[in-house]
Chains A and B, each alone.
Chain A
Amino acid sequence: MRSSTLNQEKLELLHNAPWGIIYPKLVSHAEWEIDKYSWRAGSLPKGHTAESIVQEAIQKTLSEDRNWDPERGELLPWLKWVIRGEIDHLYHSASHPEEYYILEADSFEDNPPAFEKLEYDANRQLPDGHEAKSAEERTVLAETTRRKLDSLLEACDGRPELEEVVEALIGNKCSPEAKSLAEYFGRPVEEIYQRLRALRRRAAKIGTEWTKHGQE
């Protein structure tokens, strides 16, 4: 049962939280999660933005619709966990037949450290032991592959630093790892991370636009 008011400790923590610092971190996290899904699924959660999802997570925490327990974890990881849950829910409640990856959404309240494990199996296109055998599955996989590769090429337009990364990987010049790319280009790995983030973001955005127009 909810208490009629927030307890004093929690209230002070919420009042004193550095929201000006936390908020951009949360928006960045929401964008990151959306990029992750939209690259794979080729779509965005309809009617939502990263910021609207962040605001909903904050609102639910302040109203105690989602009950943050300060003794079980700090505010920032808690809010990130709520955001991931919201985005996961939005994607899974929509129909994304071209994607089959699975999120293991453990409960923060039941098992506080579990939010750290909230990762999807990156290498799975299909569930374990399931190969795309049917004609329909093969078609979906081929379309997804085409969308990804075409959107990657499109994402490089006007960005030579992204283009050389895509060319190096498609041309099999080095292994598909950030460290190998850093060695190949003789650049710091942090710079390669930044290029890859931009590349995925742009490709995901282009891919979702194509999916959207294809559905219209």
Chain B
Amino acid sequence: MDKNKPQRGDEDIAREFDSLFDNIPEPDTTEEIEAYLLDAAYDYEALQANGLHFVNNLLEDNWRFVSSAEIDEAAAQINRTPLRKQWDRYRLVDTIRKVSEALSAAGETPVLAFRNQAELTDADLASVLQELEYKANLKGIQIDID
């Protein structure tokens, strides 16, 4: 042993392990990752399945992940519902109430109807009614409007 070499204390040894561990490369190849996960008590194949299941659920359950093609199709269907531009304000408001009640009775939540109608223009009210009618038609709810 080199007598001139300073003695290593416990703190020096711990620091050497710190340095050693910090310089190990992270598992990168599939084999390395599998071995690392196995050592951490993971089942690699089960993890793969968990990941797919988790992400698929997220994508399916959130309307934000609907494709733009589906959104375009929905918009086209809404536009096929008549827009009651010629109706007066009283009739628009009354029909919105009627359709909203029908949707509520069928267990649907007509979110659009919760807008403050007093602040909406007649054109806005006609659009609200169009969307509500579309939703009612989609759910097969029959309402005598005309």
Chain A interface residues toward B at CB < 8 A: 4-6, 8, 11, 14-15, 17, 19-29, 31-32, 36, 39-40, 50-51, 55, 58-59, 62-64, 122-123, 125, 141-142, 144-146, 148-149, 152, 169-170, 172, 176-178, 190, 193-194, 196-198, 200-201
Contacts and interface: CB of A to CB of B under 8 A. Distances in A.
Nearest to A40: B18
Nearest to B59: A15
A20 B48 contact: yes
A23 B48 contact: yes
Given A19-B55, A23-B47, A178 B24 contact: yes
Interface string B80-115: 000000000000000000000000000000000000
A76 B47 CA distance: 16
A83 B58 CA distance: 18
29 contacts: A5-B71, A11-B65, A11-B67, A14-B65, A15-B65, A19-B51, A19-B52, A20-B49, A21-B48, A22-B51, A23-B48, A23-B51, A25-B33, A27-B37, A32-B27, A36-B21, A55-B54, A58-B58, A62-B65, A122-B23, A148-B17, A152-B17, A169-B17, A170-B13, A172-B8, A176-B16, A178-B20, A194-B35, A201-B36
B36 A28 contact: yes
Contacts of B40: 31, 50, 201
A164 B105 CA distance: 74
B32 interface: yes
B22 A122 contact: yes
Contacts of B140: none
B39 A197 contact: yes
Contact of A24 (B8, B25, B48, B59): B48
B19 interface: yes
A176 B17 contact: yes
Contacts of B66: 5
A145 B10 contact: yes
A63 B62 CA distance: 9
Contacts of A176: 16-17, 19-20
Contact of B50 (A23, A149, A172): A23
B51 to A, nearest CB: 2
Q: Which 4 A-B pairs have the closest CB atoms?
A: A23-B51, A122-B22, A176-B16, A20-B48
